[in-house]
């Protein structure tokens, strides 16, 4: 009997020391006292800092979306509310609960002091996480919302942090604190000098505050020098950013113009429906996402061959039904293809509605690559630049290294001799027009990741495409590449100064003047047919 009592006593002791669960401990937050809530949060942090449920609790509590049910005292997080109805999720099980009225819940309120405690707790959880991305985000968040009380936490993290990028952010935070709050003037001056090598908005703000403060003149002078260094770096990286955006625009122009360069170079057809073939490619991407909503991550990859086939078939249809009857009459082909473009636009309006449609961007194309605090390269634009170059070199390979490319070049250089050599020019015309139209469809896939898809999408790029082809040299692919990237860069550097519309006018005037000197563009096409 005595032995049994000892066992029971030990079990009670263990229960007292270790038996309380997260559910029991977190339920203590159901109190009106803010001081008690702070004590509970400190206890939870010491006990459950590695528990994902505690991090979720803190996040929703900070947002003001942590509640408990009045009936059974269960902690829930608010997902959304519709008028007086609340849609919630159980904090412990992450299970979605049935819709209930707002009067069935009680909010766990916080004040400014608790808000600071929660932020510090979240920072501590993430700053010492085993996941380096979490630590990086936490260090970045601390730098953005830097307070004097963060010094202990920063120093502790610096002692154990091994990842260079995270350590650099923590070091920048520490130097900011020294520059702002140190009582040693020499330390502050040295810290201000070091801040000149950083470019974050927080560092810029710190230096601005010191420059405009009543501190010692030497400190203010150093802050002014550091600000000058940062501004110079920011302007340098600003130029790189504009170059990147220029390459991005150039890659879109390249994709839009490659197909036109082929058809215009081979068949001498002024295809005003080329923009609508781009539009069809964009709508193909949208349609695939609607038909396969569970494959958003792969929709763009699936859309590339699909858009090529759909736009290519439409192009072949246009060539067989209309254009082949109008060879040698450029003005009539211009009018006919303009009419086709209007028909295609109206057809799309009838099928999809005249409203713009949003194409979702896959997660692997979302976000940006952070080079530093002043330079971000968005993934969607980066992928489009790479994709445009792949398409370009793919087309170049087909044109230079395959039998089809040889026949296309033969027809473009001298149609009569090509026929005499047994090449079916009508077959080559249809196939070339189909390939050019298919590439236009691929351009539509790329554009769908940069802008909304609408019936007038292609109209915004048809003039630019013709300018690229004429500037580069009709039918010359290398000329098209150089012209597309040149016009993209020129446009991006003129646009901030002159505005979007005036920038296009300036470029158009430039091309007109250029053509006066070089009527055949940068790289003129060779051959007797070209000379004619």
Specify the pLDDT at position 89: 87
Q: Where are the alpha helices (DSSP H) in 15-79?
A: 22-26, 34-48, 52-63
24 pLDDT more than 80 = yes
The values of phi and psi at residue 76, to 5°, are: -135, 155
Tens of pLDDT, residue by residue over 428-445, are 888 888 888 899 999 999
Residue pair 382/318 in contact by the 8 Å Cβ criterion? no
How many whole angstroms separate alpha carbon 458 and alpha carbon 480? 19
**Mean confidence (pLDDT) of the chain:** 83
In the chain, the percentage of residues whose pLDDT exceeds 90 is: 12
Residue 213's pLDDT is 82
For the chain, give the percent of residues with pLDDT over 70: 92
What's residue 303's pLDDT? 92
449-490 confidence digits (pLDDT tens): 888 888 888 887 888 888 888 888 776 788 888 888 988 888
Model pLDDT, residue 20 = 58
Q: Which long-range contacts (CB under 8 A, 24 or more apart) does 64-67 make?
A: 64/107, 64/109, 64/110, 66/29, 66/91, 66/107, 66/108, 67/105, 67/106, 67/107, 67/108
The confidence band for 493, taking pLDDT boundaries of 50, 70 and 90, is confident
Q: Contacts by 168-174 with C-beta closer than 8 Å and gap 24+? A: 169/136, 169/139, 169/140, 169/142, 169/143, 170/139, 170/142, 172/143, 172/198, 172/200, 172/202, 172/203, 173/139, 173/142, 173/143, 173/146
- Is 13's pLDDT higher than 50? no
- Encoding tokens for residue 427? 């077959």
Give the model confidence (pLDDT) of 313-356 as tens digits: 999 999 888 888 887 787 788 888 889 999 999 999 988 888 88
Q: How far apart are CA 283 and CA 356, in angstroms?
A: 10
User: How far is the C-alpha of 518 from the C-alpha of 343, rounded, in Å?
Assistant: 36
**Which position has the token pair 């020019």?**
425
> What per-residue confidence (pLDDT) applies to 8?
43
Residue 420 CB partners (closer than 8 Å, separation 6+): none
Q: Which of 382, 354, 269 is nearest to 315 (CA)?
A: 269
Summarize the confidence of residues 491-503 as an average pLDDT: 78
Q: What is the pLDDT of residue 475?
A: 67
Q: Is the pLDDT of residue 512 over 50?
A: yes
Assess contact for 165 and 369: CB atoms under 8 A.
Answer: no
Query: DSSP secondary-structure letter at 365?
Result: G
Give the residue extent of every domain in the chain: 19-113, 128-215, 250-462
> Considering just the CA atoms, what is the radius of gyration of the chain in Å?
32
pLDDT given for residue 27 in this prediction: 84
pTM of the shown model: 0.74
Q: How confident is the model at residue 103 (pLDDT cuts 50, 70, 90)?
A: confident
Q: In what order do the strands lie in the sheet with 75-82?
A: 100-101, 85-90, 75-82, 66-69, 105-107
Q: How far apart are the first and last CA of the chain?
A: 116
Q: Of 431, 460, 435, which is closest to residue 279 (Cα–Cα)?
A: 460
Which range has the worst mean pLDDT, 32-41, 259-268, 367-376? Answer: 259-268
The per-residue pLDDT for range 257-303, each reduced to its tens digit, is 888 888 776 677 778 888 899 999 999 999 999 888 888 888 889 99
Task: Fill in the DSSP letter of residue 128.
Answer: T
**Lowest mean per-residue pLDDT among 90-99, 371-380, 448-457, 503-512:** 503-512
CA dist 135 and 158 (Å) reads 11
Provide the pLDDT for residue 489.
87
Map tokens 């192009």 to a residue: 315
Our measurement of the distance from residue 186's CA atom to the centroid of its chain's CA atoms, rounded to an integer in Å, reads 44
Residue matched to tokens 């170049």: 396
User: How far is 196 from 204, CA to CA, in rounded Å?
Assistant: 9
Full DSSP string of 301-315: HHHHHHHHHHHHHHH
Residue pLDDT, tens place only, 375-429: 888 898 999 999 999 999 998 898 888 888 888 777 777 777 877 878 887 788 8
- Give every CB contact of residue 245 below 8 A, 6+ residues apart in sequence: 381, 492
Average pLDDT of span 13-26: 60
The tens digit of pLDDT for each residue in 160-170 reads 888 888 899 99
């Amino acid at each position: 009997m005595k032995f049994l009592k000892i066992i029971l006593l030990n079990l009670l002791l263990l229960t007292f020391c270790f038996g309380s669960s997260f559910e029991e401990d977190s339920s203590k937050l159901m109190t009106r006292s803010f001081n008690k809530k702070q004590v509970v949060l400190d206890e939870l942090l010491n006990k459950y800092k590695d528990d994902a449920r505690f991090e979720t609790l803190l996040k929703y509590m900070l947002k003001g979306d942590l509640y408990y049910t009045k009936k059974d005292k269960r902690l829930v997080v608010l997902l959304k509310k519709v008028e007086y109805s609340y849609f919630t999720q159980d904090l412990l099980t992450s299970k979605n609960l049935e819709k209930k009225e707002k009067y069935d819940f009680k909010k766990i309120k916080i004040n400014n002091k608790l808000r600071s405690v929660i932020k510090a707790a979240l920072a501590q959880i993430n700053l010492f996480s085993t996941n380096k991305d979490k630590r990086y985000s936490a260090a970045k968040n601390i730098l953005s919302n830097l307070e004097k009380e963060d010094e202990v936490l920063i120093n502790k993290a610096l002692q154990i942090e091994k990842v260079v990028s995270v350590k650099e952010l923590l070091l920048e935070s520490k130097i900011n604190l020294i520059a702002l709050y140190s009582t040693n003037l020499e330390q502050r001056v040295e810290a201000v000098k070091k801040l000149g090598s950083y470019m974050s908005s927080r560092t810029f703000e710190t230096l601005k505050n010191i420059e405009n403060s009543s501190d010692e003149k030497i400190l203010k002078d150093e802050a002014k020098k550091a600000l000058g260094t940062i501004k110079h770096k920011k302007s340098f990286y600003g130029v790189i950013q504009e170059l990147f955006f220029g390459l991005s625009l150039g890659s879109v122009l390249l994709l839009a113009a490659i197909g036109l360069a082929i058809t215009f170079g081979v068949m001498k057809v002024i295809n005003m429906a080329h923009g609508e073939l781009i539009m069809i490619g964009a709508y193909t991407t949208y349609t695939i996402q609607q038909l396969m909503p569970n494959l958003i991550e792969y929709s763009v990859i699936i859309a590339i061959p699909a858009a090529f086939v759909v736009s290519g078939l439409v192009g072949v249809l246009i060539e067989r039904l209309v254009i082949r009857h109008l060879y040698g009459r450029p003005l009539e082909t211009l009018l006919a293809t303009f009419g086709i473009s209007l028909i295609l636009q109206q057809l799309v309006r009838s099928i999809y509605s005249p409203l713009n449609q949003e194409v979702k961007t896959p997660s692997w194309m979302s976000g940006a690559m952070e080079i530093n605090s002043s330079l971000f390269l968005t993934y969607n634009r980066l992928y489009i630049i790479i994709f445009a170059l792949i398409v370009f070199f793919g087309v170049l390979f087909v044109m230079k290294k395959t039998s089809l490319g040889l026949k296309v070049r033969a027809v473009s250089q001298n149609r009569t001799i090509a026929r005499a050599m047994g090449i079916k020019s009508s077959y080559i015309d249809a196939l070339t027009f189909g390939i050019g139209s298919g590439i236009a469809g691929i351009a539509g896939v790329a554009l769908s990741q940069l802008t909304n898809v609408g019936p007038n999408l292609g109209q915004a790029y048809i003039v630019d495409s013709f300018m690229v082809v004429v500037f580069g040299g009709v039918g010359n692919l290398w000329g098209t590449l150089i012209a597309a990237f040149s016009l993209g860069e020129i446009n991006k550097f003129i646009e901030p100064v002159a505005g979007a519309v005036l920038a296009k006018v300036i470029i158009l005037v430039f091309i007109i003047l250029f053509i006066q000197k070089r009527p055949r563009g940068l790289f003129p096409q060779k051959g007797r047919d070209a000379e004619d």
